[in-house]
Structures are given as C-alpha cells and as structure tokens.
C-alpha cells in the first residue's frame, strides 16, 4: 500500500519540515533499531500532530511507542496542562525513548510505561480525549475493548495499519494471526453503535473512530 514515489516526494516537499529532534529520532531509528519502517515518519507524523492540534486533548493514550516519534508528534497539540501516556512492550527501547523525551519541550507531559498494554491500560486515568493504537495487530480488538469506556464522548481513536499491506482483501492464511486480528477489529468497530468510523488511506491505513 505505497504511493508512487514521485507523488510521495511531492507530498513530503510540501509538508512542514521535521523539527531537529524528530529528524534525529528518524535518523537514529533507521541506523540502529530493528524494523525502522515501523516509525511513523514525516507524513503520518504531521497528520497526528494536526489531529491533536484540532482537538487540543487534555489526555492522550498511545499504545505502541516504538522509538517515540509519534508520541512527540501527538504531544504537539496537547492543552497547556495536558498529558500523554504511552505504552511500549520492548524494554530494550526504553533508554532510546527516554533520551529523546528528555530533550523535548513536552518532557514534563510525557509518561512512558514499559510492559504489556493489556495489563497497563486499566491502571491509567479515564476521560481520554485521543488514543493512537500502533502495537500488536493480533490484539487490536482487545485494546479497543479496554479503552472504549475510558474514552470521552466525542473522543477519537486512531488505529494504524488497518489495511495491513493489502492483506485485508486477500485470502487469509490459516496461521496468519496478524491479518485475522486486523480484520476482526475492522469488522467489530464498523458494527459498533458506540462509534462512527472512517478509514483514511494514508500509508498502511488509519482507522479513525469517534465515540458518539
């Protein structure tokens, strides 16, 4: 699910440039971290920032920090006394993430939790304004069940990779738990009367949900 390279370059040329800190995260992630394509990148980062600015959230939850790029983009729109909680399973990334969080102007608003989101979500505050899910695709629906009652009416959920490289429209292999997880999530939220949804065909697809 990739754009033509010329179109993608044109889009990137017409975006606001990355901050120095985001550029450094991008560079070091590609140089030192496994699977750097997992990084949100400039286009998706600007979209996350724009959505956050539009709603000026008091409380953001991110499930899947990776190296911290998307968290810093989301933090740009926080209200003056807002906070962002982000959960990362891989403890080997903790020092990498914290190094950049401590350099950020939002450092006092950022809370990193290392561990399994399925165990951590219930311990976090309620009345969440904005959620970004970009973690284990097999359990997207489990994340959803845990966060929907914590989300404010009118609050937004953004779920990444919901087109899953086009596999969502192909015959699913019996042992492909990741595609099945995405399909189960997409199907459930489409039918859930508590939310309205739209899929944005950006990169690998972002599902945007608004709690009614």
The structural architecture, per CATH, of the domain 5-211 is 3-Layer(aba) Sandwich (3.40)
How many CB atoms lie under 10 A from the CB of residue 24? 14
Tell me the pLDDT tens digit for each residue of 118-162: 999 999 999 999 999 999 999 999 999 999 999 999 999 999 999
Q: What is the pLDDT of residue 64?
A: 98
Q: What is the pLDDT of residue 4?
A: 78
Q: For residue 8, is pLDDT > 80?
A: yes
Per domain, the residue ranges of the chain are: 5-211
Please report which confidence band the pLDDT of residue 2 belongs to, taking 50, 70 and 90 as the band edges.
Answer: low
Q: What is the pLDDT of residue 209?
A: 99
- C-alpha distance from residue 1 to each of 4, 70, 162, 163, 205 (Å): 10, 20, 11, 8, 8
* Residue 201 CB-density burial (10 A; 0-12 exposed, 13-18 middle, 19+ buried): exposed
Pairing of strands 195-200, 206-211: antiparallel
> What mean pLDDT, rounded, does the chain reach?
96
Q: For residue 82, is pLDDT > 60?
A: yes
């Amino acid at each position: 699910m990739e754009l033509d390279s010329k179109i993608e370059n044109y889009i990137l040329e017409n975006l606001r440039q990355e901050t120095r800190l985001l550029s450094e995260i991008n560079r070091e992630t590609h140089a030192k971290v496994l699977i750097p394509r997992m990084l949100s990148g400039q286009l998706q980062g600007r979209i996350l920032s724009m959505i956050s600015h539009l709603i000026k959230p008091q409380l953001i939850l991110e499930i899947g920090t990776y190296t911290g790029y998307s968290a810093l983009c989301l933090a740009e729109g926080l209200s003056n006394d807002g906070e962002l909680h982000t959960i990362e399973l891989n403890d080997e990334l903790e020092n990498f993430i914290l190094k950049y969080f401590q350099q950020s102007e939002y450092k006092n608003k950022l809370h990193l939790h290392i561990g399994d989101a399925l165990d951590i979500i219930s311990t976090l505050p309620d009345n969440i304004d904005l959620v970004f899910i970009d973690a284990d695709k097999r359990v997207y629906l489990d994340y959803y069940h845990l966060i929907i009652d914590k989300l404010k009416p009118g609050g937004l959920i953004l779920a990444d990779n919901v087109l899953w490289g086009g596999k969502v429209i192909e015959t699913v292999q019996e042992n492909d738990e990741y595609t099945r997880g995405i399909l189960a999530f997409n199907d459930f939220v489409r039918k859930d009367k508590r939310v309205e949804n739209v899929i944005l065909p950006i990169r690998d697809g972002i599902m945007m949900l608004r709690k009614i």
